[in-house]
Amino acid sequence: MTARPKSPRRYVNALAAAAAAAALALVPTGSSAATGPHVREVCGSAKPGFARCLAQVRTDVHGGRGVRGPHARTASLAALPPGYGPAELRAAYHLPADGGAGQTIAVVEAGDAPRAEADLAVYRTTFGLPPCTTANGCFRKADQRGDAAPLPPDLGWSVEAALDLDAASALCPACHLLLVEADQAAGATLAASVDTAAALGATEISNSYAAAESNQNAAFAADYAHPGVAVIASSGDAGYGIPSVPAAYRSVITAGGTTLTPAPGTARGWSESAWQGAGSGCSAWVDKPAWQHDANCPGRMTADVSMDADPDTGLAVYNTDETGDPGGGWSVVGGTSASSPMLAAVIALAGHPARFGDASRLYTATAGLTDVTSGSNAAGTDCGGDYQCTAGPGYDGPTGNGTPDGLTAF
Q: How far is CA 10 from CA 7, 307, 317, 407, 408, in A?
A: 6, 21, 29, 18, 19
Q: How far is CA 197 from CA 11, 146, 224, in A?
A: 39, 8, 10
Q: Which residues of the chain have pLDDT under 70?
A: 1-36, 62-78, 322-328, 380
Is 213 within 8 Å of 284 (Cβ atoms)? yes
Which domains, ranges and CATH numbers included, belong to the chain? Answer: 7-404 (3.40.50.200)
Note the pLDDT of residue 25: 40
Note the pLDDT of residue 115: 95
State the Cα–Cα distance between residues 168 and 174, nearest whole angstrom: 10
Amino acid found at 51: A
Note the pLDDT of residue 79: 74
Note the pLDDT of residue 275: 97
Q: How far is CA 111 from CA 12, 47, 245, in A?
A: 40, 16, 19
State pTM to two decimals: 0.89
How many CA within 13 A on the CB side of residue 21? Answer: 11
The pairing of beta strand 209-212 with beta strand 52-53: antiparallel
Note the pLDDT of residue 160: 98
